[in-house]
Amino acid sequence: MIVSIVDLSRHVGQTVTLQGWLYHRRDSGKLVFLVVRDGTGLCQCVVARGPDTDSFFEDCRRLGQESSLRVTGVVRADPKQVGGHELTVTHVEIVQNAENYPITPKPHGIDFLFRHRHLHFRSRRQWHILRVRHTLVDEIRGYFNRNGYTLIDTPIFAPSAGEGSQTLFSVDYFGEPVFLAQTGQLYVEAACMAFGKVYCFGPTFRAEKSKTRRHLTEFWMVEPEIAYADLDAVIAVAEDFICSIVQRVLSDHRADLEFLGRDVAALERIRAPFYRITHRQAAEILRGPKARELLERDLAQKSARIAEVQKLIAEKETQAKAGGVKEWQKEKLAADAADLREELADLEVEVQNIPHHMQLAANFDPNGDLGGSDETIISRLHDRPVFVTHYPKGCKAFYMKLNAEDRTRVNNVDLLAPDGYGEIIGGSQREEDLTTLRDRIHEDGLNEADYEWYLDLRRYGTVPHGGFGLGVERTLAWLCGLKHIRETIPYPRMMGKIYP
């Protein structure tokens, strides 16, 4: 009977067949240990030399990493083994003996791994992350589908820049220059006047020349849009939506998160209500003593850690040079030292940036946008996500509704994820008044003719409405506690990176 590794607990004592790939192999004279993966999990399969296994024993001993094979054997529960089960092998069918698989169990560089991305996500860590991504995407769709939203797919070819300022990819469209969409928002606004509550979900493209751990040139975004909604209603949906995502990932992926080293308890603390502050309050925090104290404390802690790490590296090196140390111990010590050196390099960059960040925060312009470091400060001063509302209109898009009490501000909201993961949601109430919207288009120097269809929405049955966009990859990076966004998508597209 062909069984998936994930289902082995239901087949203890039975003879089953696994179909998969060889993750790792060790042999010990009369035994071969085949660690097999089948896409649902890992299972160690033990082949003992004997009359019954003679026909394939030698072949198993020489089997290369990632060889494809069918393994038949008796399932045994063994809590010590990965996955909790082990197979005592009675038969092996080698589908292909793979030779010289490039990704070995030893450390590799980032460049090498991502040049082999088509193989890289067979590795455990990447496999765990992409499983969580699957559930995140499923819950995004599920949440909106359960709550009466209609999916509206928006175009990827866009005739003009949706929001004006950003750098977009230009494409030749039968001789006419068009752009790859950076948002489906304007289109989804039109759809919400037809369906009430809608969302679009797809890839978006930004041509910004940003080479950082938070940027991709192609990333996925979900954008709900709700008719008869003001800013408070938009915030309420965003909060409920995030809670729902967190709960779903916690319930389905605790083991994956633990494998990834995520602090699961911190995720469990993500509950409504989130913090809610205005941009003006954020400015006060940044310019005030709390921000300075946070960064000063940070500087002290990181400096202390640098000294500690330097000491640890020196100790490892001394131990490695001492007499009587086995080769594998030396290797382990060298690997530890390499990890420590990497941490040291990161710390040094952070420490180097802190004075700059302190200056940026202290001199924060109350009429300016929050920078990346400002967002980090705000989020780190709170233990749950923070909604920041009412930004100056100058730093936001033309379609955001001007605030009734303060016409220099807009009814917008950004959600800052904890721990410096940055802005994962950006949204607003939209300007529904035809005249005001037209003025804003002109103020931003945009061509009114490009937006005639959009202005129609304000001519024919305009209503208060709003929505937001959530970046899937940044959200996943936060959920999994990842350092770099490139791990959150199967095929990352970054500046200067398009292979494979």
Partner RNA sequence: UCCCCGAUAGCUCAAUGGUAGAGCGGCCGGCUGUUAACCGGUAGGUUGUAGGUUCGAGUCCUACUCGGGGAGCCA
Letters for 161-200 (x = contact with RNA by CB under 7 A, - = none) are ----xx----------------------------------
Nearer to RNA, 51 or 175 (CB): 51
Among 141-149, 365-373, 403-411, 442-450, which window interacts with RNA (CB under 7 A)? 365-373
- Selected binder of RNA within 104, 145, 301, 363 (CB under 7 A): 104
Mask for 107-146, x = binds RNA (CB under 7 A): xxxxxx-x--------------------------------
Tokens of 349: 């960059």
How many CB atoms neighbour CB 500 within 10 A? Answer: 10
| Residues between 54 and 83 that touch RNA (CB under 7 A) | 62, 64-65, 78, 80-82
Figure out which of the listed residues 46, 74, 381, 455 binds RNA, where binding follows CB under 7 A.
46
Stretch touching RNA by CB under 7 A, among 194-202, 271-279, 370-378, 445-453: 370-378
| Residue closer to RNA (CB basis): 105 or 461 | 105
CA angle, 467 then 468 then 470, to 5°: 150
What is the footprint of RNA within residues 424-453 (CB under 7 A)?
424-426
- Could you say whether residue 290 binds RNA (CB under 7 A)? no
**Footprint of RNA on 220-239 (CB under 7 A):** 221
Say which amino acid occupies 79.
Answer: P
Long-range contacts from 149-153, C-beta under 8 angstroms, 24+ separation: 149/197, 149/198, 149/199, 149/224, 150/191, 150/195, 150/196, 150/197, 150/198, 150/199, 151/198, 151/199, 151/200, 151/201, 152/187, 152/188, 152/191, 152/195, 152/198, 152/199, 152/200, 153/200, 153/202
Interaction between residue 215 and RNA (CB under 7 A): yes
- Regarding 323 and contact with RNA (CB under 7 A), the answer is no
383-422 residues near RNA, rule: CB under 7 A: 395, 414, 422
Stretch of 101-109, 171-179, 286-294, 445-453 contacting RNA, by CB under 7 A: 101-109
Candidate list 10, 213, 321, 407; residue touching RNA; CB under 7 A: 213
Among 246, 385, 471, 487, binds RNA (CB under 7 A): 471
Q: Does 31 bind RNA (CB under 7 A)?
A: yes
Stretch that binds RNA, among 149-157, 261-269, 450-458, 492-500 (CB under 7 A): 492-500
